[in-house]
């Protein structure tokens, strides 16, 4: 699985084919869009909708089919995706100031629109980016883009969604689904896909129990759940206190945060599959898992570079706590805090990092809206949020298709004021995408830090 950005996508020249779903409406009349009253939007969805601009805010996946595009089969696959995943037929909006989930219904009219996608690669990228921006910001229907570029010999499929509908794992699930649904439609067969749940059920659970995974915690008993939540709120509030009432920021001078354009991107292939397995064993032998090992090495490298004695960040945590959500599409992610004494010996730091990962997973189950609302000092964080993400795509449905179909995930190119890391493990090994302010000072500081991280990881696997 390659992670990149829209301005770095490899796109062929060819015929651009788009499948557009439109909710049917009465002739000459307005479409009826229903409010899903029992499934209010999640905390992530509300924040995303509040921050939405005229462009960006989407996730995109591309994959290659080794054949010319069969238009009817592609349209059938897109329609089947919409039918399979309820969240694709919804959007987040506001009614009288309150966030609501809107449903476009279950039936859609489908239109196939074609145009040329020619010229220099930069022009093709710009054409696709404009198409995705328009599709994911529409107010007339689902905020999705189903498209393909047909070269006459092969086809590059493009699926893009408003981020409020999806997360990185969900994009990979959609890639698996569309490959199988397209093949089934082309061969006049029926795709064999596992049963799937709905993200709207996760929204219902969050609204009913107070957090994305709070139902599981409540099963342990109301008294224990209340005690755990109280301690968790206090932990979150103490974390805010240690960061001036907000969230930790990567140690950059203020002047280094103010880039004049889109974020700088640092893409690295860090370890082979064999070396990644060696690193995994190294961590396990010392009581940690690979995500904790990566956090520990990041903290240690920050100390070695003279950047920080205390290293804090956010850790995205998956919330697919029910079996039926494993195959579902939606934003199944919360966040938990991580704090490490960066100068400790690595063996001790590994144990501490594992403890921090487990703490982050526990605190991520709490309703962040209530965590923030109950913070007496008042939450105050300016700029973007720094974080370190880890996804093991070997555990994601359809991972065996990634290399064969050149599956790639891309996000928009947009400015940032902080540093975000995405660690990716797949069948080829360990890779990294870093996003940072596009200033000379930030590129120098973050580049040196990541060089130290990479050197350390390679040394641990020799």
Helix boundaries (H) for 187-244: 199-209, 214-218, 222-241
> What are the Cα distances from residue 205, in Å, to 88, 108, 366, 371?
19, 28, 12, 17
Residue 30 above 70 pLDDT? no
Residue 348 above 70 pLDDT? yes
Predicted local confidence at residue 140, as pLDDT: 86
What secondary structure does DSSP assign to 118-169, as a single string? Answer: -S-HHHHHHHHHHHHHHHHT-SSS-SEEEEEEE-SS-EEEEEEEEGGG--HH
Please state, rounded to an integer, the average pLDDT across all residues of the chain.
94
Query: Model confidence over 161-178: pLDDT tens digits?
Result: 999 999 999 999 999 999
Average pLDDT of the residues in 119-131: 98
CB atoms within 10 A of CB 101: 23
Predicted local confidence at residue 215, as pLDDT: 47
Tell me, yes or no, if the pTM score tops 0.85. yes
* Phi, psi at 9, each rounded to 5°: -65, 140
Average pLDDT of the residues in 293-305: 99
Q: What 8-state DSSP symbol labels residue 32? A: P
Average pLDDT of the residues in 108-122: 97
Class of domain 220-460: alpha beta
Residue 194 above 90 pLDDT? yes
Q: Is 94 helix (H, G, I), strand (E, B) or coil?
A: strand
Average pLDDT of the residues in 448-457: 99
Predicted local confidence at residue 213, as pLDDT: 54
Reported as a pLDDT band with limits 50, 70 and 90, residue 199 is very high
Fold of 2-201: Chloramphenicol Acetyltransferase (3.30.559)
- Where is pLDDT greater, at 26 or 228? 26
Query: Model confidence over 45-78: pLDDT tens digits?
Result: 999 999 999 999 999 999 999 999 999 999 999 9
Query: Model confidence over 127-171: pLDDT tens digits?
Result: 999 999 999 999 889 999 999 999 999 999 999 999 999 999 999
Same fold, 2-201 and 220-460: yes
Quick one: which of 253, 233, 250, 251 has its CA closest to 241? 233
Instruction: Please state the domain extents for the chain.
Output: 2-201, 220-460
Residue 452 above 90 pLDDT? yes
């Amino acid at each position: 699985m390659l992670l990149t950005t829209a301005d770095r996508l490899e796109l062929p020249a060819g015929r651009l084919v788009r499948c557009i779903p439109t909710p049917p409406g009465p002739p000459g009349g307005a479409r009826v869009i229903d409010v899903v009253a029992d499934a209010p939007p999640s905390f992530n969805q509300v924040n995303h909708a509040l921050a939405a601009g005229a462009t960006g805010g989407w996730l995109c996946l591309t994959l290659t089919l080794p054949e010319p595009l069969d238009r009817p089969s592609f349209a059938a696959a897109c329609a089947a995706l919409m039918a399979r995943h309820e969240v694709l037929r919804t959007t987040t909006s506001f009614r009288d100031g309150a966030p609501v989930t809107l449903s476009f219904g279950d039936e859609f009219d489908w239109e196939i629109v074609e145009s040329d996608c020619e010229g220099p690669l930069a022009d093709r990228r710009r054409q696709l980016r404009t198409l995705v921006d328009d599709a994911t910001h529409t107010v007339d229907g689902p905020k999705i883009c189903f498209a393909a570029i047909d070269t006459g010999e092969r086809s590059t499929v493009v699926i893009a969604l408003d981020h409020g509908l999806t997360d990185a794992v969900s994009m990979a699930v959609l890639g698996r689904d569309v490959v199988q649904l397209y093949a089934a439609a082309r061969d006049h067969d029926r795709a064999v896909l596992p049963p799937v749940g709905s993200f709207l059920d996760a929204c219902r659970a969050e609204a009913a129990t107070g957090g994305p995974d709070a139902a599981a915690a409540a099963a342990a008993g109301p008294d224990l759940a209340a005690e755990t939540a109280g301690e968790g709120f206090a932990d979150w509030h103490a974390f805010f206190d240690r960061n001036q009432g907000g969230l930790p920021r990567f140690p950059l001078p203020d002047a280094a945060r103010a880039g004049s354009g889109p974020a700088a991107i640092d893409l690295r292939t860090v370890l082979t599959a064999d070396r990644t397995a060696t690193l995994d064993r190294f961590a396990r032998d010392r009581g940690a898992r690979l995500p904790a090992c990566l956090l520990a090495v990041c903290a240690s490298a920050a100390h070695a570079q003279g950047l920080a004695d205390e290293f804090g960040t956010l850790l995205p945590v998956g919330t697919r706590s029910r079996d039926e959500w494993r195959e579902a599409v939606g934003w199944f992610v919360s966040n938990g805090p991580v704090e490490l004494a960066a100068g400790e010996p690595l063996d001790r730091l590994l144990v501490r990092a594992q403890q921090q990962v487990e703490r982050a997973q526990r605190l991520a189950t709490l309703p962040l809206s209530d965590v923030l609302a109950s913070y007496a000092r008042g939450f105050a964080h300016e700029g973007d949020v720094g974080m370190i993400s880890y996804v093991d795509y070997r555990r994601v449905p359809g991972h065996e298709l990634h290399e064969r179909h050149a599956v790639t995930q891309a996000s928009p190119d947009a400015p940032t004021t902080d540093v975000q890391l995405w660690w990716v493990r797949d069948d080829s090994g360990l890779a990294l995408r870093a996003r940072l302010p596009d200033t000379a000072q930030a590129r120098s500081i973050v580049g040196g830090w990541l060089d130290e991280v990479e050197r350390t990881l390679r040394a641990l696997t020799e």
